[in-house]
Amino acid sequence: MGNREEGIAQIERARELDPLSLIINVNVGTMLYYARQYDRAIGECRKALELEPDFAPVYGCLGGAYEMKGQLEEAIHAYQKEVELSGSDPFKIAALGHAYAISGKKANARKILRELTALSLQQYVSPYAMAMVYVGLGERAQALEWLEQGCREHSFGMEQITIDSTFDPLRSEPRFQELLRRMHFSS
């Protein structure tokens, strides 16, 4: 709901209670990512990697923080590792597609869109994941179409729309503002 400092305090308290929990350590980095404290998020992810270098969620958090800092090659490498470790998770694939798109590797991003479309014939692919790639490509209308579909379907991931910096390029769009209103989020 946007109370980032309280979220950070709560996850740090959880880590005090269970300092060796991999997911809690990654979630510290994730909360810092959502609070847009990217350097701190990277530091926490690196600490989590010391606990377990093959824990896929670490690479997603690390990729996101690198991406938002403009370290796009590092982001792509982190997302590739996450996809490698997690298999065919649509959100992980979409994050890689978004990073390809914003780094100018549009053919790779379009390949990811085709992969997600094919994957949707075998398993659920949230419209939110598709929107991630389209927003990276700068195709705002397509991204908004997918987000609106996600809203209609109450799709997984939509609860993150207010905090996910992936969608910052859409925040000033009237359609995005209307979407937030329909979802009962303040803008």
Q: What would the pLDDT profile of 55-84 be if each residue is shown by its tens digit?
A: 999 999 999 999 999 999 999 999 999 999
The two three-digit tokens of residue 33, written as one number: 């990512």
Residues 129 and 174 in one domain: yes
Residues 136 and 179 in one domain: yes
Note whether residue 19 is domain-resident. Answer: yes
Q: Which domain holds residue 55?
A: 1-87
pLDDT tens digits along 161-170: 988 999 999 9
Residues 72 and 120 in one domain: no
Weakest-pLDDT range from 45-54, 91-100, 144-153, 178-187 = 178-187
Weakest-pLDDT range from 5-9, 104-108, 134-138, 168-172 = 5-9
Could you give the number of structural domains in the chain? 2
CB-based burial label for 47 (10 Å; 0-12, 13-18, 19+): middle
pTM of the model: 0.92
Weakest-pLDDT range from 54-58, 93-97, 136-140, 158-162 = 158-162
Residues 52 and 125 in one domain: no
Note whether residue 93 is domain-resident. Answer: no
Residues 2 and 59 in one domain: yes
CA atoms within 13 A on the CB side of 135: 25
Residues 77 and 135 in one domain: no
Of the residues 37, 52, 87, the one at which a domain ends: 87
Of the residues 54, 87, 120, the one at which a domain ends: 87
Residues 82 and 1 in one domain: yes
